[in-house]
Amino acid sequence: MTSIPAQADGALLERAPAATTPAGAGWSSSLGSGPQSATRHFDFSILPAEARYRLLASTIMPRPVAWVVTCSADGVVNAAPYSFFNLFGADRPVVALGILARPGQPKDTAANISATGEFVINLVPFALVEAMNATCVEAPPEVDETVLAGLATVPSLAIRPPRIAASPVALECRLLHLLETGPGQWLAVGEVLHAHYAQSVLTGDPERPRVDVGALDLVGRMHGPSTYARTRDLFDLPRPLWPLPGGESQAQTKG
């Protein structure tokens, strides 16, 4: 396994225990009986990696897209989209980014985050999907994908990597933890230091602005190698409040 470069100061590098995979690379499934008889079981310990990816990525969706900008130790800018990404806390504000393995060497994003401890997450509206897709290319480390895609960038306030000017939301992040979850596969946990929102996606009181979700028009990653969705088909579902109507009697009879 190719080692990843030395990690930036202040962040914690962790390695997960290596998984043990039994011999064999076939599908493992079974049909049960009773109410769940129509379900199929897959034993991930013997399922090939490609099959595991296809099953999981085709069901855990839609996934938000993080358009990640990093810099190498030498200052070369890199940009690439990742959909294994989400928000994991607000106090402190924490995001996490999953970076899959690449045969032979770490992906530039993983290498840069490890070396510098800094990255910018730009969100992707429908208007920028073509430019985002252009940065998917497996270019050499010395190639700046923002230049390749014709993207203007803006300097960040607290970190070296710039943000993408046209993105409606950009998050400046500093690495907290870097965990190797498999051979060459990394989970980067970062703290959001600064957030940049386009004025066009904010509404309401300037002192307590709200985000106009429709104006964001963000895309999400779906199944297959190239399928995306737009976040425009929305509905409201208010949460229930305790005590529920008849909740006391329900609690007494439960079990």
Per-residue pLDDT of 75-112, as tens digits, reads: 999 999 999 999 999 999 999 999 999 888 889 999 99
Whichever domain contains 210, its CATH number is: 2.30.110.10
| Domains: count for the chain | 1
Residue 11 lies in a domain: no
Q: What is the pLDDT of residues 190-243, one digit of tens each?
A: 999 999 999 999 999 989 999 999 999 999 999 988 999 998 888 999 999 999
pLDDT tens figures, 29-42:
444 555 556 889 99
Residue 242 domain-assigned (yes or no): no
Q: Does residue 169 lie within any of the structural domains?
A: yes
Question: Could you tell me the residue range of the domain that residue 182 belongs to?
Answer: 49-230
**Rounded average pLDDT over 114-121:** 98
Residue 210 placed within a domain = yes
3-state SS track over the chain: CCCCCCCCCCCEEEECCCCCCCCCCCCCCCECCHHHCCCECCCCCCCCHHHHHHHHHCCCCCEECEEEEEECCCCCEEEEEECCEEEEEECCEEEEEEECCCCCCCCHHHHHHHHHCEEEEEECEHHHHHHHHHCCCCCCCCCCHHHHCCCCEECCCCCCCCEECCCCEEEEEEEEEEEEEECCEEEEEEEEEEEEECHHHEECCCCCCEECHHHHCEEEECCCCCCEEECCCCCCCCCCCCCCCCHHHHHHHCC
In a domain, 14, yes or no: no
Q: What is the pLDDT of residue 255?
A: 46
If you average pLDDT over residues 173-184, what whole number do you get? 96
Average pLDDT over residues 16-26: 51
Q: What is the pLDDT of residues 38-66, one digit of tens each?
A: 889 999 999 999 999 999 999 999 999 99
Higher pLDDT: 12 or 187? It is 187
Please tell me the predicted confidence (pLDDT) of residue 232: 81
> What pLDDT score does 105 carry?
85
Least confident of 20-29, 86-95, 157-166: 20-29
Asked, for residue 92, whether it belongs to a domain, the answer is: yes
The reply to whether 24 falls in a domain is: no
Residue 166 predicted with pLDDT over 80? yes
- Give me the mean pLDDT over the 137-148 stretch: 96
Quick check: 247 pLDDT over 90? Answer: no
pLDDT at 245: 86
Q: Is residue 18 part of a domain?
A: no
